[in-house]
Amino acid sequence: QVNLVESGGGSVRAGASLRLSCVVSGGTFSDYVMGWFRQAPGKERVWVAAISRSGGGTYAANSVKGRFTIARDNAKNSVYLQMNSLKPEDTALYYCAADHGVRVSTAQYEYDHWGQGTQVTVSS
């Protein structure tokens, strides 16, 4: 069984930074494309960022490009989301997800395993 556990969320003021972490257990981490998604109150869950198996390819949604950076450490079975210049509209429950596929996808249905989420709240 594959388990994903996120951490690093919290409540911050606008302009602050947070670093989310996600540790994966029960599988071969380097076999997974990894993604971060978020769900704001009353809204659907949306894709935020994704990273290829090797870490050589990274992708981010336009809404966070230039502020958020995704990275992974295959030796630590971990993926990270560095979030800088946070805005109130970044407030959401953030999920990491693992995809057995080869190509990096932004589609939620492509991802096979999900964490429980970590809350990020940004006040103005």
Question: What is the token pair recorded at 1?
Answer: 């069984």
- Whether the CB-CB separation of 11 and 121 falls below 8 Å is answered with yes
Q: What is the mean pLDDT of each run of 10 residues along the chain (124 residues)?
A: 97 98 95 98 97 96 98 98 98 97 94 98 97
The predicted pLDDT at position 54 comes to 95
The predicted pLDDT at position 120 comes to 98
Give the three-state DSSP class for 111: coil
The predicted pLDDT at position 91 comes to 98
Residue reference for tokens 């947070």: 18
What is the rounded CA–CA span in Å between residue 21 and residue 25?
13
What is the rounded CA–CA span in Å between residue 47 and residue 79?
15
What is the rounded CA–CA span in Å between residue 124 and residue 17?
14
